[in-house]
Amino acid sequence: MDGTKRANVKIGAEVSVVLKEHQRTNTLTQGVVEKLLTNSPNHPHGIKVRLEDGQVGRVKVIHP
């Protein structure tokens, strides 16, 4: 699913994100969404979220 649309990202969803420090390499980190940090309905680089382990990144993949 598309991680650039806020409506697709739900709290508790398993996602893969790119952390700020990995933006150059596009390294993905998996986790579960704790909080949505982007307020706009969509964002071209992905919706920013906080994972349950406290890491913050932009959603690239939403796992079914």
Which residues touch 28 (CB under 8 Å, ≥6 apart)? 16, 17, 18, 22, 60, 61
The pLDDT of residue 60 is: 97
pLDDT of residue 1: 81
Q: Are the C-beta atoms of 38 and 50 separated by less than 8 Å?
A: no
Question: For the segment 7-53, what is each residue's pLDDT rounded down to a tens digit?
Answer: 999 999 999 999 999 999 999 999 999 999 999 999 999 999 999 99
Q: Quick one: tokens of 19?
A: 């952390």
Asked whether the predicted pLDDT for residue 2 surpasses 90, the reply is no
24 inside domain: yes
Owning domain of residue 14? 6-62
Classify residue 51: in a domain, yes or no. Answer: yes
Counted domains in the chain: 1
Q: What is the pTM of this model?
A: 0.94
In this structure, is residue 1 part of a structural domain? no
Residue 19 identity (one-letter amino acid): L
